[in-house]
Each structure stands twice: as C-alpha cells, then as structure tokens.
Amino acid sequence: MEKLIQITSGRGPLECQWVVSKVLKTFLEELKDNTIDYEIIHRENGDVNMTIKSVTVLLKGKNIKEFLETWLGSICWEGKSTFRKLHKRSKWFIGIFELENLETANFNEKDIRFQTARSQGSGGQNVNKVNTAVRATYIPTNESVFVQDTRSQLNNKKLSITRLKEKVMGTYIQQLEDRMKETWNHHLQVERGNPVRTFSGTDFKSNYQDKSFKKQRNILKQKFKNYSNDLN
C-alpha cells in the first residue's frame, strides 16, 4: 500500500511553520516504530531556519490506513511563541492531509528507446563519421534527451539514461506540486478545534496516548527475535 501525505502550515504564521518541522520529526519516528517505509518527495522550507511550510511524504507498507487514523486532521501545539514573545495567542494549528488519486512515477529503464546519430558541431573526424550521439526516449511519457557529450557511444548512453530519468521525475514532481497547490487551496484555513493530536511546550511534549500498544508489541517481537537468534 502507498499513500501520499501532506503536512502543512496552511496560511499559518511562522509559529505554525515551526510546528510543522516538529510534527514531521515525531511523524517519521512513529513510521519507523510501525515499520512503515517513507520517502520525502517535496519540501518547502519556512521563512526562517529549522521551519517548514509544507512537506509531502510517500508512505509504503502495511497497516498505513490504521496508522493514519491517529494523524489525519488538525494538529494543535499549545505554547507561547518564541518568535513573538509578547503575542497573546497560545494555540497554533497545522494540518495533515492525504493527497488522493495520485500515481507515483516508476521509472523503468526497459521502457527507454535508444537511437544513435552522428554528433553535431565541431569535434574532429570521429564526430562527423561515427554514430556516437544518443537520443533516448521514455516511451510511457514520450519525453526524450539528446546526448553527444563524449566520443563514446556507451558513455553517451549512460548519460542519456541519467538525464532522461531526471527529466521524467522532474515532470512528475511538477505535476505533484500543481496538485498540491490545489490541495493547498482546499485547506487555506486549517481546521481549528477537535485536533487529532495536541502537543505542548518548547520540548514538544505529546498529549496523545496510543492505546493500540503497537509500539510495545513491536519491541517485544524484536526482543523475541533477538532471543531466538541467541539460541541458534
């Protein structure tokens, strides 16, 4: 199972950007505890160092749906702003949302069609007489690159694969960012009230209690595995 999750400060102030960075750290730690793989595929840094406006995370693994039930929605942090000490507000909200109906890009080198050609421009007799240049086309998207950097067809082919992958993934990321902007518009105002989790203090203490005991079970499983290995 795969899911794309966006953690966003919405249009919240700098304090909310700080909360996003703190929530991201806790979120990733719990993913590891639940043996869920992840990949950060987009990140928009905040207005000051160590803050984040939004981050998109690709989750891979089992039991993701159950895991997200304790995270999706509004997240609240209770505490005084360290950026504006005289500010009276003490509750700051961010949001965690699922980006639905998005397909991940799976680049497969088997889907590349290669064509050779004579290199263009100056370069001596080898350029004019030998087909050392390479045009690589990614069939699923019909995107292509033309490489003539070296006099070796093999080296140009390797370069074309690298550049084509960057181009295809770049297009995918751009599409993702466009979709994220749509999601952003839907959540310009992060929902206040009834947060799924609440944190407090500069140490970002969590007031959430996981009643599923998944973490404890995983710890016991690992201890049992280590014990079995010792016996063997």
Residue 68 maps to which CATH number? Answer: 3.30.70.1660
Quick check: 210 and 112 in contact, CB under 8 A?
Answer: no
pLDDT digits (tens, 9 = 90+) for 30-75: 999 999 999 888 888 999 998 999 888 889 988 899 999 999 989 9
More confident residue, 42 or 182: 42
Tell me the percentage of the chain whose pLDDT exceeds 70.
Answer: 76
Report the 10 Å Cβ neighbour count for 91. 14
Q: Please state the rounded mean pLDDT for residues 67-87.
A: 87
Cα–Cα nearest to 58, from 36, 34, 38: 38
> How many angstroms separate the CA atoms of 160 and 133, rounded?
10
pLDDT of 232 strictly over 60: no
Residues 142 and 204 grouped into a single domain: no
Residues 17 and 78 grouped into a single domain: yes
Model pTM? 0.61
Residues 145 and 71 grouped into a single domain: no
> How many angstroms separate the CA atoms of 55 and 30, rounded?
16
| 220 — pLDDT class (breaks 50, 70, 90) | low
Cα–Cα nearest to 160, from 133, 143, 136, 127: 136
pLDDT digits (tens, 9 = 90+) for 102-153: 555 678 899 999 999 887 765 544 455 678 899 999 998 899 999 999 889 9
Report the 10 Å Cβ neighbour count for 128. 12
Tokens of 130: 């030998």
What DSSP line would sit under 93-107, residue for residue?
A: EEEEEEE-S-PPP--
Residue 155 maps to which CATH number? Answer: 3.30.160.20
pLDDT of residue 124: 47
